[in-house]
Amino acid sequence: MTEFEPGDPAGAPSPSAEPVAAPPPLPRLWPGVVFWLALSGAYVSAEILRLADDLLLPVPLMTALVLARVVDVKLTSPRARRILAALVAAGCFGVAAVVWSRGVGVLDVEPGLFIVVLIAVGALTLVGLVRRVRQPVFRVLGLDPSSAVHAATAVAVVLTLVGSVLLFTALQEEPESTIPFYPTEPLTSILGDAALAFAGVGLFLTRGPRQALVRLGLRRLRARHLAGALLVAAAFHVVVGAMEFAESRLLPTVHALEERFQYEFIGLPPILGGILVSIAAGVGEEMLFRGALQPRVGIILTALLFGAVHVQYQIPGMLMIFVVGLALGFLKQRTSTTFTACVHVIYDIGAFVLPDF
């Protein structure tokens, strides 16, 4: 029998043994859950009371991301996580599909949407529950098969692609028209995109505000960065302008359809309206795509999703936006989301202002 010195606990590690770090305590999730439920309720109430439009659109996926974060933290069993993640993902997919379709008016054009939704929900549930199906699908997307948060991310990817295809198809029959733009829309757009981005990185759940900003790649910029963003945006205009010129010569009929939908600014001068649209798109889309999604699914898939959501254009126009998304993705890797947001805003302002000169 091994002898121990008096006063030493039996079985005490030797002094030369490396200390074993205690596991980090589980975060308190309930304050964050309360915050996100309150925010979702505020968005739903604003929509019901007609204080703002389109604030309902991000709520289903935002809720799915929050619930998935709770599942990942609180459940230690991979099987239980997988089952609950599949149920949460499938349920939120169905709700989101209906909400999104009503928001963009697809139900009026595509009555077969519910069949597509049912098939997609069934396929998504199968992917979530069957390990041999889930693992290869998630790994292709660069996602962790055992993570509920990644399951919710997969839902967002699938729903974005399915919704973009349906809406793009529906818009092919639409004649040239103007889109009314109200002064409140830039704010609701940023609130929706920012909420999805912060919910995706676990703000107030597994990350504090500072950690969430770091995860999203939001940093301070200096004057030289702004000058650099201006030069990059100018280069983007040269490249995209060349592609548009080639399209106008090679595909004149398709090119004529690229500008069918124009903004009609209500209560705003056109230049101010264009600046507000540019700020809302540049800040919100960069937080969501380059900040939240790209570190998880990579540059190529993020750029594909970025191009897919611009359904108001034709295929060549969406391919141009895909190319711009790739360039923004590589820029983000070498700089920050704040920098790409500046480039995006400046580029969009130029797109509104330059045709008037």
Which residue in this structure is represented by tokens 């969009």?
348
Beta bridge partner(s), residue 207: 203
The pLDDT, as a whole number, for residue 177 is 80
Q: Is residue 13 part of a domain?
A: no
Among 57, 72, 351, which Cα is nearest to 202's? 72
Q: Is residue 352 part of a domain?
A: yes
**Would you call 230 helix, strand, or coil by DSSP?**
helix
Residue 12 has phi, psi (to 5 degrees) of -65, 145
Do 148 and 287 lie in a common domain?
no
Do 242 and 124 lie in a common domain?
no
Domain boundary among 120, 155, 174: 174
Torsion-angle region of 55 (φ positive above 0: left; ψ -120 to 50: alpha; else: beta) = alpha
Residue 265 has phi, psi (to 5 degrees) of -80, 120
Residue type, 256: A
Q: Is residue 287 part of a domain?
A: yes
Question: For the whole model, what pTM was predicted?
Answer: 0.84
Do 205 and 349 lie in a common domain?
yes
Domain boundary among 139, 159, 174: 174
End-to-end CA distance of the chain: 93
Q: Token pair for residue 298?
A: 């990579």
Do 213 and 101 lie in a common domain?
no
The pLDDT, as a whole number, for residue 41 is 92
**Would you call 178 helix, strand, or coil by DSSP?**
strand
Do 252 and 335 lie in a common domain?
yes
Sign of the torsion angle spanned by Cα atoms 338, 340, 346, 349: negative
**Would you call 262 helix, strand, or coil by DSSP?**
strand
The pLDDT, as a whole number, for residue 138 is 79
CA distance 90 to 113: 16
Domain boundary among 174, 193, 225: 174
Q: Is residue 284 part of a domain?
A: yes
Do 231 and 91 lie in a common domain?
no
Confirm if 282 and 186 have CB atoms less than 8 A apart: no
Q: Is residue 6 part of a domain?
A: no
Do 207 and 350 lie in a common domain?
yes
Do 166 and 208 lie in a common domain?
no
Domain of residue 158, residue span: 30-39+53-174
CA distance 310 to 23: 45
> Distances from the Cα of 92 to the Cαs of 59, 124, 139, 157, 248, in angstroms?
10, 11, 22, 13, 42
Sign of the torsion angle spanned by Cα atoms 218, 223, 225, 227: positive
Beta bridge partner(s), residue 178: 262
Q: Is residue 182 part of a domain?
A: no
Do 101 and 236 lie in a common domain?
no
Do 210 and 351 lie in a common domain?
yes
Q: Token pair for residue 37?
A: 């439920």
CA distance 297 to 288: 12
Do 165 and 217 lie in a common domain?
no
Do 115 and 238 lie in a common domain?
no
**Would you call 252 helix, strand, or coil by DSSP?**
helix
Q: Is residue 46 part of a domain?
A: no
Among 128, 82, 60, 139, which Cα is nearest to 298's? 139
Rg (CA), the chain: 24
Report the domain count for the chain.
2
The pLDDT, as a whole number, for residue 126 is 59
Beta bridge partner(s), residue 179: 263
Residues contacting residue 210 through CB under 8 Å, at least 6 positions apart = none
Q: Is residue 17 part of a domain?
A: no
Q: What is the pLDDT along the chain (357 residues), one digit of tens a residue?
A: 333 333 333 344 444 444 444 445 556 888 999 999 999 999 989 988 888 877 888 888 888 889 888 888 887 777 777 677 666 666 666 666 666 555 544 444 445 555 565 566 556 665 655 667 677 777 888 888 778 888 778 877 877 887 788 778 878 877 888 888 888 889 999 999 999 999 999 999 999 999 999 999 999 998 889 999 999 999 999 999 999 999 999 999 888 888 888 888 888 888 898 999 999 999 999 999 999 999 999 999 999 999 999 988 899 999 999 999 999 999 999 999 999 999 999 999 999 887 655
**39-78: burial string, b at 16+ Cβ within 10 Å, e else:** bbeebeebbeeeebebbbbbbbbbbbbbbbbbbbbebeee
